[in-house]
C-alpha cells in the first residue's frame, strides 16, 4: 500500500488561445480544462493505472479542495485529505501558438495542527510506503516532511525541490530529483552524465538510500546501496513531457512494492515514463503493456561500480 502526500495541491486550469489579447481586448476559448494537480496526486494516478494500491492524502480547503477530492473519486482514486479553512490554490497555464505562461498561487497557510491531523490520517491508512511530493505551502518548512518520515513504521520517498532535499534531516528510502534539482541539492555544476553520477552519489550520502534522477533524453540513473545504474531512454514520439518525472517515480515504486530488484524497478520507471510522454498534457495512458517493454530498456552500471 502506497500513500501519497501532497502538502500543497492545486486545481490546474489550462487554456489555449491563439494569441495574448491587446490591452482592453477579450480573448475567448473553447479549449480549456481543469484537473486536480500536485506531484503526490499525479503519482497516485499512475499507480492506479499500474494496479498498485494507493491512497492520496494531503491538505485541501474550500470549494477548490472539494473539486480535488471529487475529481479523484471520479477517477477511481482513493483519497483521504485533511480539510482546512484556507482555499486550495488555483494554478493557471495559458497556451498560445508559440508560448506558455504559468501563474501559480502560493496556497493556503498551514499550521501544526493540520500536520498532526495529517499524521493521524497517514497512520490510519497503514501504508508500506509514503511518498511526499511537490512544494511546501506557506507556514511549513522541510521539518514537516521529516516529521512524516519519522512518524511511523513505513518507508518514505520524496519528490521535492532541490533546496528542500538539501535541508531534510531524516533518513529516506528514496528521492527523485531531476537534473536541476540534483544540482541545487548538491551544489554541483552538472554539464554531463558523469557530473550526474557524481551528484547522485553525493546526494545518497545526505540520507537517501536510493536516488532516482530523471534526466529527460538521457534516461534515468539510480544510486542504490549496491552501486549505480543508468537506464537509457526508450525511443518514443515525445508529445508532452508533463508528468514524465511523476510517472517515472510511480513506475519505480510500483515495481519495488511488488518485490522487484532495483534494476527491474528502474526499467519499470523508464518504460512508464516513455508511455506517458507520448500523450498530451495530464492524460494518463493505458499502462498494461509496460511489462512487455521492460526488456527493451537498456541498463548499464557506470564506473566505478562496474569495476
Report the catalytic residues.
246
DSSP string, 47-61: HHHTT--EEEEEEEE
C-alpha to C-alpha distance for 225 and 211, rounded to whole angstroms: 10
Q: Give the SS3 label for residue 20.
A: coil
Of residues 156, 134, 154, the one with CA closest to residue 146: 156
CB atoms within 10 A of CB 9: 33
Burial class (CB in 10 A: 0-12, 13-18, 19+), 98: exposed
CA of residue 255 relative to chain centroid, distance: 16
DSSP string, 217-271: GG-EEEEETTEEEEEPPPP---S--TTHHHHHHHHHHHHHHTT--HHHHHHHHHH
Burial class (CB in 10 A: 0-12, 13-18, 19+), 20: exposed
- Give φ, ψ of 16 to 5 degrees: -120, 135
Of residues 188, 177, 183, the one with CA closest to residue 220: 177
Amino acid at each position: 500500500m502506497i500513500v501519497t502526500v501532497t502538502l500543497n495541491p492545486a486545481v490546474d486550469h489550462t487554456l489555449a488561445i491563439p494569441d495574448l489579447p491587446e490591452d482592453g481586448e477579450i480573448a475567448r476559448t473553447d479549449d480549456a480544462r481543469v484537473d486536480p494537480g500536485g506531484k503526490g496526486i499525479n503519482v497516485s494516478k499512475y499507480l492506479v493505472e499500474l494496479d498498485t494500491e494507493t491512497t492520496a492524502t494531503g491538505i485541501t480547503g474550500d470549494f477548490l479542495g472539494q473539486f480535488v477530492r471529487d475529481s479523484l473519486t471520479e477517477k477511481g482514486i482513493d483519497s483521504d485529505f485533511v480539510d482546512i479553512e484556507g482555499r486550495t490554490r488555483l494554478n493557471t497555464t495559458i497556451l498560445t501558438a508559440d508560448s506558455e505562461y504559468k501563474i501559480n498561487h502560493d496556497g493556503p497557510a498551514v499550521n501544526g495542527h493540520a500536520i498532526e491531523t495529517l499524521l493521524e490520517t497517514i497512520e490510519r491508512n497503514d501504508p508500506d510506503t509514503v511518498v511526499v511530493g511537490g512544494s511546501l505551502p506557506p507556514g511549513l518548512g522541510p521539518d514537516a516532511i521529516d516529521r512524516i518520515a519519522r512518524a511511523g513504521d513505513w518507508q518514505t520517498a520524496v519528490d521535492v525541490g532541490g533546496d528542500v532535499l538539501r535541508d531534510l534531516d531524516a533518513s529516506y528510502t528514496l528521492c527523485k530529483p531531476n537534473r536541476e534539482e540534483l544540482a541545487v541539492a548538491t551544489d554541483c555544476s552538472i554539464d554531463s552524465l558523469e557530473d550526474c553520477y557524481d551528484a547522485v552519489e553525493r546526494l545518497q550520502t545526505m540520507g537517501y538510500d536510493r536516488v532516482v534522477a530523471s534526466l529527460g533524453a538521457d534516461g534515468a540513473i539510480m544510486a542504490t546501496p549496491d552501486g549505480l545504474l543508468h537506464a537509457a531512454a526508450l525511443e518514443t514520439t515525445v508529445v508532452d513531457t508533463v508528468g514524465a518525472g511523476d510517472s517515472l517515480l510511480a513506475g519505480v515504486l510500483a515495481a519495488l512494492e511488488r518485490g522487484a530488484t532495483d534494476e527491474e524497478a528502474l526499467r519499470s520507471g523508464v518504460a512508464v515514463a516513455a508511455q506517458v510522454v507520448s500523450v498530451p498534457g495530464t492524460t494518463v495512458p493505458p499502462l498494461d503493456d509496460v511489462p512487455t517493454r521492460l526488456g527493451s530498456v537498456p541498463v548499464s552500471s557506470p564506473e566505478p561500480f562496474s569495476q
